Structure 1
Amino acid sequence: MLNNDVLRSLRYLLDVSDAKLEALCQLADYPVEPGLISACLLREDEPGYRACSDVLLAHVLEGLVFHKRGKDDSRAPLPVPKRLTNNIVLKKLRVAFELRDDDLQAILQAADLPMTKSELSALFRAPEHKHYRECGDQVLRNFLRGLTIRERGKSD
């Protein structure tokens, strides 16, 4: 899934302004150039559009974790992944919203994509594990849609 699409979905899910997304980056100690978030939220065919980098999206997600759960200053910050995968995005959202297996299943069920616990756990395994499964765009898209339904309610 394109980083710009994930960023747009997060903005809608959280119902926040562009400035709030910039503030999330600053929580993760990442300075954002003014207007970058707004440019990343534009459609590809709109003037001023900019592609959202993996680093920018990773910092937005890290800032979301800090915003939702608090920042532990006693621990060293984890390195931000240089290559962001759908699995990492899913993990960060799971941590930020403190979701358990049952919550994940309910979210995907709400988006009409039911998955078993074993199918879900495969998405959160280490890539070198024999039961690891890559998170496809459809799974992430439906997860974001289901999480939006959970957080904002079902739209008509």
Structure 2
Amino acid sequence: MNIDNNDMLIRLRYALDIKNIEMVEIFKLGGIDLTKEEALKVLTKTQDVENHDFVEGEDHIPCDDEMFESFLNGLITFKRGKQDPKPGQPERPELSYEHVNNLLLKKVKIALSLTSEDMIEILELAGVKITKGELSALLRREGHKNYKVCGDRYARNFLKGLTLKYRG
């Protein structure tokens, strides 16, 4: 089962108990202006009852990689506060266009000030064993010789573990 950006947003919002108005604020902090209604459309999936499949309806706004990364950047600012850019740095972080699952792990780690041990524990809550070395490879910059693409299984279970940790 593939996990898409809208699904990850829905799961992340639930895990961290983010309110609708906070979703709008987080998107804005990441550089995307959405109304509350538009934010809800990003968080909506409609189900095709016959095929038990999710299909996009008229009230659905797809979340592309750029929008998802902007949300994650906004989440960092929302959770940790605005940081003044260092001399020569852009006002907003440049979008990285890395694999979206790797970005999810990296940016949520930063936003929630998680250690590698915290992340291993979160994945273990969801029943996934990962070594510190394997986790390190997922958190590396794309292009690094030890970089590994984060599969949907890790992303899905990381979100599941976050839910178990933060919502019980």
TM-score, normalization: structure 2?
Answer: 0.82
Relative to structure 1, the CA distance from residue 15 to residue 53 in structure 2 (aligned partners, 3 Å threshold; closer, same or farther) is same
State how 1:1-156 maps to structure 2 within 5 Å.
1-33=3-35, 35-44=37-46, 45=55, 46-75=57-86, 76=90, 77-82=92-97, 85-153=100-168
Residue 88 of structure 1 aligns to a residue whose secondary structure is helix
Alpha-carbon distance change, 34 to 15 in structure 1, aligned in 2, over 3 angstroms: closer
Spell out, residue by residue over 1:71-122, the C-alpha distance to the aligned partner (whole angstroms, 9 max, x if none). Answer: 1124343112356521111100010011111111111110000101111101
Deviation >4 Å, runs of 4+: none
Q: Quick one: percent identity of the two aligned structures? A: 36
Uncovered stretches (5+) of structure 1, i.e. residues with no partner:
none
Q: Normalising by the residue count of structure 1, what TM-score does the alignment of the two structures yield? A: 0.88
* Alpha-carbon separation, structure 1, partners of 2:31 and 2:133: 36
Contact map agreement 1:22 1:37 (CA 8 A) in 2 = yes
Q: RMSD value over aligned CA atoms? A: 1.8
Q: Cα deviations across residues 4-44 of structure 1 (Å, max 9, x unaligned)?
A: 01110111012123221111112233212552221121114
Are the aligned partners of 1:24 and 1:64 in contact in 2 as well (CA < 8 Å)? yes
Alignment check: 8 A CA contact 2:27 2:71 kept: yes
Distance of 1:15 and 1:3 partners within structure 2: 18
Pair 104,15 (structure 1): closer, same or farther in 2 beyond 3 Å: same
- Tell me if structure 2 keeps the 8 A contact 1:54–1:83: no
Please tell me the residue identity of whatever aligns with 2:39.
I
Q: 2:106 touches 2:139 (CA, 8 Å); kept in 1?
A: yes
Number of residue pairs the alignment of both structures matches: 153
